[in-house]
């Protein structure tokens, strides 16, 4: 990151310039120094690109907690990938001094823009704030708060692209050092009331700072610019901010209302985060259009040196006696001397009062300390760290997806919160990932009951599908995966398969098919088969005579189709009826399904007895065949 329009004094013989950091980053030149770190232009010899190298100041590196927090905040910010946020590529340390490598942005910061150009036009100011809110919205969705929105941390490229820098890094210093007075006062003009009064900072605090920045872009100065820092902080906590139109009458009411929504004293009444503020800004821009975009506040002329002018003494209308005048003249030195003494005493008194107040709030009973970040430490380490700050502790447990069992997950109040000495801080110790069992007995239940049972565990629902089932009624659960009784992490997803009921099938035509072919056709249609055999004079043996249900009828998978298979023609063996009476022989043959006809042989003298038969006894004939009986 570099500002091509800002000149920063280069430290004499900076030892880092010309060195190779971590065998990769060649430090080419010094760029700038801030309250927390120095910035260098460097070259990544591995990827062949220029980068910005930000190195924590040596005196800050002496505090291990600060250095650790510096790296942790840099690592968190490195997770942000957004065109409006300066990218962080790498991090490490140089002889105990933390550093991180970030995108090199050619251009200048918004402070330089304000110094050289003065207030911006309405259109430019809203464009820049919209870009800032877009970046904040992306960060706030990831749970990352900037904590130091101000013109110095907003960069403008030559193409007027806006990039927000140093996400969360100011918090690294304030959390580890207790946010010293100097640190707070350095950016007091942009601090939200809750940051000043309670030391807490969240997404809503970023929105407040953005509102102050918009006020400055439109008017050319921050609210209460002429007052000392302590009075500015008092105003932020106790007063509603002045409206931009109080300074510039041309500013639309809608813009006043937007700034007021960004800078509400009560965080609950403020636009909550970047997403909410961005939506409101876009609604505002649609409402006011672009006809006023060109308007801007006139530049305020720089005031020259202040000159003290001696006022003439008024002459009395009547002359006074010379002796009293001489006496008055003799009293003036003593009067001036007494005044000097009174002024000196007053100064000493004010210094003593200021020192007493400072002691009370910084070291005495009114002192507040920032709760340190002890996440990831063992409970014993965390308690020692808090005890060193005169804070009392109590323990509690909770599940955590990210912190190993036995380590501290968080504190209440949260890290960075300002509390009085001897306040009680609750330490939460991780029980590890919350494991739950897949519930049993859900098969056969409807979807509402299944979802309610899983939500109660709780387990999330994964893929939901349907399939046909002969055994489970439509709309009921067939199975779930993983299987019931399986132990899973609480955020696991369960796949569900519900029944569509029985699968519809059309009965295929089977009449005339060979038995094997008919059975295969039914199997292919997922239908069962029942076989009945019958004699048939017309259908070949082994082929289907008929079916039930008939071809084309509707059915379902698993239904049974009955087929009647031909045994061929029915045959009987002709019995021997020779010598029987004609009536007996006829009855015997008809009982076998045979027809009888008689025929006279020779004289036909004995028509009541069978003399001969045709076909002869033992012959196989079809049922219904005719047997001829001869008599003589």
Where in the sequence numbering do the catalytic residues fall? 148
Which residue, among 136, 211, 216, 134, has the nearest Cα to 168 in the 3D structure? 136
SS3 content of the chain, % helix, strand, coil (to 5): 35, 25, 40
Chain centroid to Cα 423, Å, comes to 34
CA nearest to 52, candidates 97, 96, 91: 91
The residues that bridge with 321 in the sheet, in sequence order, are: none
3-state SS of 39-65? Answer: EEEEEECCCCEEEEEEEECHHHHCCHH
Tokens encoding 28: 């080419």
Among 181, 377, 179, smallest CA distance to 393 is for: 377
Position of tokens 């001489």?
A: 326
Q: Which two tokens stand for residue 259?
A: 């700034």
Placement of tokens 């010293």 in the chain: 180
State the helix-helix crossing angle for 274-288 and 203-219, rounded to 10 degrees. 30
CB atoms within 10 A of CB 106: 13
Per-residue exposure over 26-52, b if at least 16 CB sit within 10 Å of its own CB, e if not: bbeebbbbbebbbbbbbbbeeeeeebb
Place of tokens 């990218």: 87
Q: Give just the sign of the alpha carbon dihedral 424, 425, 429, 430.
A: positive
Query: What are the b/e assignments for 502-534, b being 16+ CB within 10 Å?
Result: beebebbebeebebeebbebbeeebbebeeeee
DSSP code of residue 422: T
Region for 546 from its dihedrals, namely left if φ exceeds 0, alpha if ψ lies in -120 to 50, beta otherwise? beta
**How many Å separate Cα 455 from the centre of its chain?**
20
Q: How far is CA 24 from CA 19, 36, 40, 49, 57, in A?
A: 10, 24, 14, 11, 21
CA distances from 327 to 248, 318, 362 (A): 57, 18, 52
The CA angle 112-114-120, to the nearest 5 degrees, is: 140
609 forms bridges with which residues in the sheet?
Answer: 581
Q: How many CA atoms lie within 13 A of 357 on its CB side?
A: 7
Q: How far is CA 366 from CA 56, 230, 358, 419, 423, in A?
A: 31, 17, 9, 10, 12
């Amino acid at each position: 990151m570099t500002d091509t329009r800002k000149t920063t004094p280069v430290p004499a013989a900076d030892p880092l310039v010309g060195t190779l950091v971590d065998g990769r980053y060649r430090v080419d030149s010094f760029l700038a120094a801030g309250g927390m770190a120095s910035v260098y232009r460097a070259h990544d010899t591995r990827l062949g690109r220029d980068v910005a190298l930000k190195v924590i100041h040596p005196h800050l590196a002496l505090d291990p907690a600060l250095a650790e927090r510096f790296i942790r905040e840099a690592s968190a910010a490195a997770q942000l990938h957004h065109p409006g946020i300066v990218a962080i590529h790498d991090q490490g340390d140089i002889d105990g001094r933390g550093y991180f490598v970030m995108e090199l942005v050619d251009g200048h910061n918004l402070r330089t823009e304000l110094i050289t150009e003065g207030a911006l036009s309405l259109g430019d100011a809203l464009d820049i704030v919209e870009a800032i809110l877009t970046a904040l919205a992306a960060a706030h969705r990831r749970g990352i708060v900037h904590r130091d929105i101000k013109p110095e941390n907003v960069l403008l490229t030559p193409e007027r692209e806006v990039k927000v820098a140093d996400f969360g890094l100011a918090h690294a210093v304030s959390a580890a050092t207790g946010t010293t007075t100097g640190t707070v006062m350095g950016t007091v003009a942009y601090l939200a009331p809750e940051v000043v009064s309670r030391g807490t900072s969240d997404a809503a605090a970023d929105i407040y700072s953005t509102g102050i920045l918009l006020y400055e872009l439109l008017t050319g100065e921050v609210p209460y610019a002429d007052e000392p820092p302590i009075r500015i902080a008092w105003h932020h906590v106790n007063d509603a901010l002045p409206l931009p139109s109080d300074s510039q009458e041309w500013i639309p009411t809608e813009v006043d209302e937007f700034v007021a929504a960004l800078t509400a004293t009560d965080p609950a009444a403020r636009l909550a985060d970047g997403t909410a503020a961005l939506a409101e800004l876009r609604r505002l821009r649609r409402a006011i259009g672009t006809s006023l975009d060109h308007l801007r506040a006139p530049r305020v002329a720089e005031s020259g040196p202040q000159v003290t002018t001696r006022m003439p003494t008024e002459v009395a209308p009547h002359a006074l006696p010379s002796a009293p005048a001489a006496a008055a003249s003799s009293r003036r030195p003593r009067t001036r001397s007494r005044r000097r003494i009174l002024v000196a005493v007053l100064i000493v008194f004010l210094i003593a009062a200021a020192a007493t107040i400072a002691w009370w709030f910084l070291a005495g009973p009114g002192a507040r300390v920032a709760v340190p970040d002890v996440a990831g430490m063992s409970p014993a380490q965390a308690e020692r760290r808090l005890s060193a700050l005169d804070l009392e502790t109590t323990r509690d447990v909770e599940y955590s997806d990210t912190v190993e069992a036995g380590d501290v997950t968080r504190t209440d109040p949260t890290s960075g919160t300002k509390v009085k000495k001897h306040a009680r801080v609750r330490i939460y110790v991780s029980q590890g990932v919350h494991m739950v069992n897949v519930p049993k007995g859900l098969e056969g239940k409807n979807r509402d009951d299944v979802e309610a049972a899983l939500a109660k565990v709780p387990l999330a629902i994964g893929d939901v599908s349907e399939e046909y089932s002969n055994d489970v009624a439509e709309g009921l659960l067939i199975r779930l995966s993983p299987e019931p009784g399986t132990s899973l992490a609480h955020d696991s997803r369960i796949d569900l398969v519900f029944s569509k009921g029985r699968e519809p099938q059309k009965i295929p035509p089977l009449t005339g098919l060979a038995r094997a072919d008919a059975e295969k056709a039914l199997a292919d249609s997922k239908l069962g088969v029942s076989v009945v055999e019958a004699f048939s004079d017309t259908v070949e043996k082994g082929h289907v005579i008929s079916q039930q249900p008939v071809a084309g009828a509707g059915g379902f998978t698993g239904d049974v189709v009955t087929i009647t298979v031909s045994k061929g023609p029915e045959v009987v063996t002709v019995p021997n009826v020779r010598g029987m009476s004609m009536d007996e022989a006829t009855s015997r043959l008809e009982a076998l399904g045979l027809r009888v006809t008689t025929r006279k042989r020779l004289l036909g003298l004995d028509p009541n007895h069978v003399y001969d038969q045709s076909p002869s006894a033992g012959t196989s004939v079809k049922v219904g065949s005719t047997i001829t009986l001869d008599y003589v």
